[in-house]
Every structure is written in C-alpha cells, then in structure tokens.
C-alpha cells in the first residue's frame, strides 16, 4: 500500500472545508424582491407619514420568509380615495411563481379580484400587505407590479 503524504492530506482537508463553506453559503442564499405600486386616478397608497408609496424594496428573503410592507415602525398603510365619487376597487398583481401576496383591507383578507367599496374622500388606514417566498429560485432579482384598479 502506498502512504498518503502530508500534502495530500492538507489538500483533501482544504477541499472538505471549502465544500462545507460553499454548502453553507448556498443554503443561506437570499432572494431580492422589489415592487411597483400603481393606482387608478384618484387613489393613493400612503405610509404613516402621508408619503405616497410608488415603489417598495422588500429586501432579501430567506426560504419561506414572510414580510410585511413596513411604513416606519408600522405595517399599517393607507389607501386613500382623493376623488369626488365613491369607487369600487380591486387589486391585481403580476407576482412571479414562487411568491404569495396577501392584502388585508381593514384587517380582513382581500383576495385579488375581490371588490371593495371606498367612498369618496375617504381612506382605509388599516391596510396591510404581506409577501411570502415559497419556492422562488435563488440568485434572481424578482420584481412585480401591484395595481389597485377601479371597477364599474
């Protein structure tokens, strides 16, 4: 039998260590996500400081992580009808596969396609938006649009 030299053992140890480190890095990969908010004329989505939200950077997600759209220290955002008539609203999104978007309207679930009434010059101050990663592919920058639309 042939003896294994110190150099061979050292190289095998380095390869094993690098494999463990690489495996840990790949396991902890995060997935970046951003969102554009689009509203129909007469509607605004605002944070707790009454600043309009047109984009939101969710940051990076770990596997199966759920995040709330944060406005300062609060996850409450305002949907405001600044128009001069009552409106019926719905929301749609082009969210990629591997993500789940949940919206609560006055803290009750609001599914995409469901219609909610918003009287003129009124607001919903207890609206919350949650995003969950559920099988997205790492190393891809995801982005999507969230649209609040008026329906007749």
Is residue 11 in some structural domain?
no
The domain that contains 132 carries what CATH number?
2.60.120
Q: What does the chain look like in DSSP terms, one character per residue?
A: -PPPPHHHHHHHHHHHHHHHHHHHHHHT--EEEEEEEEE-TTEEEE-TTS-B-SEEEEEEE-TT-EEEPPBTTB--EEEEE-SSS-EEEEEEE-PPTTEEEEEEETTEEE-TT--EEE-TT-EEEEEEEEEEESSPPTT--EEEEEEEEEE-
Note whether residue 126 is domain-resident. Answer: yes
Is 13 within the bounds of a domain? Answer: no
User: Is pTM beyond 0.85 here?
Assistant: no
pLDDT in tens, the chain (152 residues): 567 778 888 888 888 877 766 654 444 455 678 899 999 999 999 988 889 999 999 988 888 899 999 877 888 899 999 988 999 999 999 998 889 999 998 889 999 999 999 999 999 888 999 999 888 877 777 889 999 999 98
Cα(71)–Cα(27) distance, rounded to whole angstroms?
30
| CA–CA distance, 56 with 146 (Å, rounded to integer) | 10
Domain count, the chain: 1
Residue range(s) defining the domain that contains residue 139 = 30-151
For residue 10, being part of any structural domain is answered with no
* 119 in any annotated domain: yes
């Amino acid at each position: 039998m042939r003896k294994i030299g110190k150099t061979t053992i050292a190289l095998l140890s380095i390869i094993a260590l690098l494999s463990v480190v690489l495996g840990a890095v790949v396991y902890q990969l995060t997935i970046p996500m951003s969102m554009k908010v689009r509203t129909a004329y007469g509607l605004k989505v605002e944070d707790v400081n009454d600043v309009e939200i047109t984009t939101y950077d969710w940051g990076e997600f770990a596997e199966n992580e759920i995040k709330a759209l944060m406005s300062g220290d609060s996850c409450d955002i305002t949907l405001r009808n600044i128009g001069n008539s009552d409106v019926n609203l719905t929301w749609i999104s082009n969210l990629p596969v591997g993500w789940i978007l949940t919206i609560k309207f006055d803290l009750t679930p609001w599914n995409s396609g469901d219609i909610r009434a918003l009287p003129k010059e009124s607001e919903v101050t207890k609206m919350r938006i949650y995003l969950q990663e559920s099988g997205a592919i790492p190393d891809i920058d995801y982005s999507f649009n969230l649209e609040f639309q008026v329906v007749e």
